[in-house]
A and B are shown apart, each in its own frame.
Chain A
Amino acid sequence: MNASRIGLVLVAVVALVIASMSLFKVDQRQTALVVHFGEVSRIVTEPGLHVKWPIADEVVDIENRTFMWSSDNMAVQVSDKQRYLVDTITLVRILDAQKFRETVGADLDLARQRIETRLNAALRQTYGKRTFEAALSKDRDVMMQEITTQVAGEAQALGINIVDVRIRRTDLMKEVLEATYDRMKSERQAEAQNLRGLGEALNTQKKAEADRKVLEITSEGKRQSEVIRGEGEAERASIFAAAFQKDPEFYGFYRSMQAYQKSLGQGGTSLILNPNSEFFKYFGTQKDMSQVPTEKQ
């Protein structure tokens, strides 16, 4: 009873060990290579449970999804001799697991090295044909296509399908980058200078304009003033003329009297008078007195 139970357990354990050694699971996301004493005996693409020889067969799992490599800082030279650093991403998928195993021993790193060498050459060739301006913008799609095509051949020999090669970044070399920064800086400085200069020019211009307008306004004022004054003087003249015309001779006399009064009547004037003048006609001797009226008549 007891012995048979132990025997049962033993059989179960042995069966389990054999089963574990001869069964293997293939994931949906993998391809399995069954290697029989170092030789690829078959490729299992169907996911699920599969059978192999225990010990003699070894199973190698290979990714069957698309995955990505990035290759950074590859130096390229464009047709105008300028050098740039390019980063790319490569999307790959292992299509032929057997080839992959046979050529590079299912070693992804080795495969990557070989493909990157090709990629590097393809990049340099593709960039070398173009000016930087074209490479940076309008030709980018075409270039990525070209590179993909060039790399695809090499990859195919390794059982790998190149799904896509994309240029991730195109960068200036470090010293060119510094020069670019300096240029950007000086461009901005020039712009700032220009803006400030323009401000000052406008300032001067506006002030000069103001000064001119000031002159215009004041001289217009002076003009108006002169016109008004002239009108006043003309009116004055006409008023005088109208009044004095009545008797010009009397006006002459009257005005002279006023002028004498005004200019000599303030004192401090020395007069040398002739006793024969009209003012003195009654001055002096009686004979003179008798003489004067007769003279006058």
Chain B
Amino acid sequence: MPWNKDDDGKNQPPSDRGPWGKPPGGEGPKNNWGSGNKGGPGNIPPELDDLLKKGRDGLKSVLPQGGGRGTWLLPLAAVAAFWVYSSVYQVQPDERGMVLRLGAYTRTVSPGLQFAPWPLETMELLPVAAENQTPIGDSGDEGLMLTGDENMVDVKFKVLWKIADPQKFLFSVAEQETIVKAVAESAMREIVGRTPASDALTNGKLAIQDQVLDITQRTLDKYNAGVKITGLALEGVEPPSSVLDAFEDVQRAKQDQQKSINEADRYSNQKLRNAEGDQAKLVEDAKGYKAQIVAEAKGEAQRFSSVYDQYVKAKDVTRERLFLETMENVIGKSNRIIMDPSKSGQGVVPYLALPAIQNSTPAGSN
């Protein structure tokens, strides 16, 4: 607060210094009373003109009339302008103004143009309606946490919080955002430390979220922090990067397994359909064979019956005729050797080589 010109610098509000004299900035919430300065010289509201004029008129009446009037007026006007500039505050719609009179809290003021006469009073602006987001686990290995089964997971989350009680927020804790972050991280590690890695990585996330939110809120309430945790966004729970590949390989292995099973299914489907075809063919072939032999048998039987019918009518003649016709056909087509076994006395054996002789002398007797 550059306009805050305390006499010896000792009495600066501590929020500018942090608890042990750190320079301001960098620590507090990002939109914490930074935006809430009193509308710089560029946007002095129209009322200021009136105020300036009034001030000048007042001075006029107080100061003795006479020579050197111009030389007096100019620095006085500058001082008055500076005073007004230091005393008028523009409280934004999402803010509350905390007014301290000589360092003691007196009142909270609503959005709008507000007046706190300097140096008697100072105002601090708190963005009560804004939701702050504090990310945890974004950088480096901040998010690496030990799980209940002594594995590591990389957790990334955001704490969403609001100023619930401006008075508590301002007066009971210093470095509010740092504390919110530390408490939330501690709670997350506590809960992850109770959860097995497999749960944390898969379906345990909601439960983790709820528990962490609960612990964080309770702890902050214990500190009277005046902070309301509005939400906890668990953005990612992953295996640490150095083992990520092994985890992904498990996913690939699942797919390989499915592929292997599918391949076997394809194989067995093909084989089974073929076998069913083969089975049908065997059965059909057999049916064909049955039909064939039955039909043939019927034909043959019929043929015999027909011949028999005629045979019954003239048994001897028919029999003789059949015999002779057959013999005629058989003997007529064969190589014939006629011999009288009663004369040779030795049967046919000596003549068994005869066909060979006959073949070499085709002119021999037929």
Per-residue 0/1 for B261-305: is the Cβ within 8 Å of any A Cβ (1 yes, 0 no)? Answer: 101110111011011101111110111011111101110111011
Tell me which residues across on chain B come within 8 A of A177, comparing CB atoms.
152
Does A66 sit at the interface, judged by CB under 8 A?
yes
Per-residue 0/1 for B224-242: is the Cβ within 8 Å of any A Cβ (1 yes, 0 no)? Answer: 1000000000000001101
A63 in contact with B14 (CB, 8 Å): yes
A218 in contact with B268 (CB, 8 Å): no
CA distance A227 to B285 in the complex (A): 12
B261 in contact with A199 (CB, 8 Å): yes
Does B101 sit at the interface, judged by CB under 8 A?
yes
Does A222 sit at the interface, judged by CB under 8 A?
yes
CA distance A270 to B151 in the complex (A): 98
A225 in contact with B152 (CB, 8 Å): no
B283 in contact with A224 (CB, 8 Å): yes
Tell me which residues across on chain A come within 8 A of B330, comparing CB atoms.
260-261, 264-265, 269, 271
CA distance A59 to B6 in the complex (A): 14
Does A11 sit at the interface, judged by CB under 8 A?
no
Contact with A66, one of B172, B279, B286, B293 (Cβ below 8 angstroms):
B172
Q: Please count the residue pairs between chain A and chain B whose beta carbons lie under 8 angstroms apart in the complex.
A: 355
Tell me which residues across on chain A come within 8 A of B246, comparing CB atoms.
184-186, 188-189, 192
B179 in contact with A280 (CB, 8 Å): no
CA distance A233 to B296 in the complex (A): 11
User: With contacts A27-B100, A267-B334 known, is A192 near B253, CB below 8 A?
Assistant: yes
A195 in contact with B254 (CB, 8 Å): yes
CA distance A275 to B290 in the complex (A): 46
CA distance A137 to B278 in the complex (A): 66
Tell me which residues across on chain B come within 8 A of A108, comparing CB atoms.
19-20
Contact with A229, one of B19, B290, B307 (Cβ below 8 angstroms):
B290
Looking at B171, B183, B186, B219, which has the most chain A CB atoms within 10 Å of its CB?
B186
Per-residue 0/1 for A217-252: is the Cβ within 8 Å of any B Cβ (1 yes, 0 no)? Answer: 110111011111101110111011011101100110
A247 in contact with B308 (CB, 8 Å): yes
Per-residue 0/1 for A170-212: is the Cβ within 8 Å of any B Cβ (1 yes, 0 no)? Answer: 1110000100110011101101110110111011111101110
A140 in contact with B340 (CB, 8 Å): no
B338 in contact with A280 (CB, 8 Å): yes
Does B336 sit at the interface, judged by CB under 8 A?
yes
User: With contacts A65-B174, A184-B246, A195-B256 known, is A270 near B335, CB below 8 A?
Assistant: yes
CA distance A67 to B337 in the complex (A): 138
CA distance A226 to B6 in the complex (A): 117
Name the interface size band of chain B. Answer: 35 or more
B343 nearest CB neighbor, chain A only:
A275
Does B313 sit at the interface, judged by CB under 8 A?
no
Per-residue 0/1 for B31-64: is the Cβ within 8 Å of any A Cβ (1 yes, 0 no)? Answer: 0000000000000000000000000000000000
B249 in contact with A163 (CB, 8 Å): no
Q: What distance in Å separates the Cβ of A27 from its nearest Cβ neighbour in chain B? A: 4
Does A168 sit at the interface, judged by CB under 8 A?
yes
CA distance A195 to B292 in the complex (A): 57
User: With contacts A68-B178, A137-B148, A279-B324 known, is A240 near B301, CB below 8 A?
Assistant: yes
User: With contacts A210-B267, A273-B331 known, is A253 near B322, CB below 8 A?
Assistant: yes
Rank and list the top 3 A-B pairs by shortest CB-CB distance, nearest first. Answer: A232-B290, A210-B268, A199-B257
A-to-B contact residues, CB < 8 Å: 20, 24-30, 46-49, 59, 61, 63, 65-68, 70, 89, 91, 108-109, 132-133, 136-138, 140, 163-164, 166-172, 177, 180-181, 184-186, 188-189, 191-193, 195-196, 198-200, 202-207, 209-211, 213-214, 217-218, 220-222, 224-229, 231-233, 235-237, 239-240, 242-244, 246-247, 250-251, 253-254, 257, 260-261, 264-276, 278-280
B-to-A contact residues, CB < 8 Å: 6-8, 10-11, 13-15, 19-20, 100-105, 144-146, 148, 150-152, 170-175, 178-179, 182-183, 185-186, 189-190, 193-194, 197, 219, 222-224, 239-240, 242-243, 246-247, 249-250, 252-254, 256-261, 263-265, 267-269, 271-272, 274-276, 278-283, 285-287, 289-294, 296-298, 300-302, 304-305, 307-308, 311-312, 319, 322-324, 326-327, 329-331, 333-342, 348, 351, 354-355
Q: What would 17 A/B residue contacts be, using CB atoms closer than 8 Å?
A: A28-B105, A65-B19, A67-B19, A136-B146, A136-B148, A172-B146, A191-B250, A192-B252, A195-B250, A195-B254, A210-B268, A224-B283, A235-B294, A244-B304, A260-B327, A267-B334, A272-B351
Known A-B contacts: A180-B152, A184-B197, A218-B275. Give 17 more (CB < 8 A): A26-B104, A28-B171, A29-B15, A70-B182, A136-B148, A170-B193, A171-B144, A186-B246, A192-B253, A195-B254, A196-B257, A199-B261, A203-B261, A235-B290, A254-B308, A265-B329, A265-B330
